[in-house]
Amino acid sequence: GAGVSQSPSNKVTEKGKDVELRCDPISGHTALYWYRQRLGQGLEFLIYFQGNSAPDKSGLPSDRFSAERTGESVSTLTIQRTQQEDSAVYLCASSSSGLLYNEQFFGPGTRLTVL
């Protein structure tokens, strides 16, 4: 079956513009994660959705960042009024549940460049 897909693969935007990044998880996966990875660095947790529970937004760096998920399917990460420090690869991952042992399957990422 299809893996996690993300779109666009690359996004170049001007400072101050809003961007929307999309993630399509593996069908049937109830858990969905967003991470940010700056160049040469590790993965920074942003937000976590699990089924119908309220999302864990504790990793969102500012109120310019928000994310939504429609049921147990597509998720969009929105960054408003982008800044140059938002430039990074944004990775989405899904897992079959939120249980401890479930591995995450990652998408290819969206590379965001803010000029």
Partner 1 sequence: AQKITQTQPGMFVQEKEAVTLDCTYDTSDQSYGLFWYKQPSSGEMIFLIYQGSYDEQNATEGRYSLNFQKARKSANLVISASQLGDSAMYFCAMREGLTGGFKTIFGAGTRLFVKA
Residue closer to partner 1, measured from CB, 14 or 103? 103
Cβ proximity of 115 and 13 under 8 Å = yes
**Which residues from 32-51 bind partner 1, rule CB under 8 A?**
33, 35, 41-45, 48, 50
If binding is defined by CB under 8 A, does position 112 make contact with partner 1? no
C-alpha to C-alpha distance for 18 and 5, rounded to whole angstroms:
21
N-terminal to C-terminal alpha carbon distance within the chain: 37
Residue closer to partner 1, measured from CB, 80 or 96? 96
Letters for 9-28 (x = contact with partner 1 by CB under 8 A, - = none) are --------------------
C-alpha closest to that of 94 among 60, 44, 47, 37: 47
Cβ proximity of 12 and 115 under 8 Å = yes
CA 79 vs CA 6, 46, 63: distances in Å: 16, 12, 9
Letters for 50-89 (x = contact with partner 1 by CB under 8 A, - = none) are x-----x-xx-----------------------------x
Shortest CB 80 distance to partner 1, Å = 23
Residue closer to partner 1, measured from CB, 19 or 34? 34
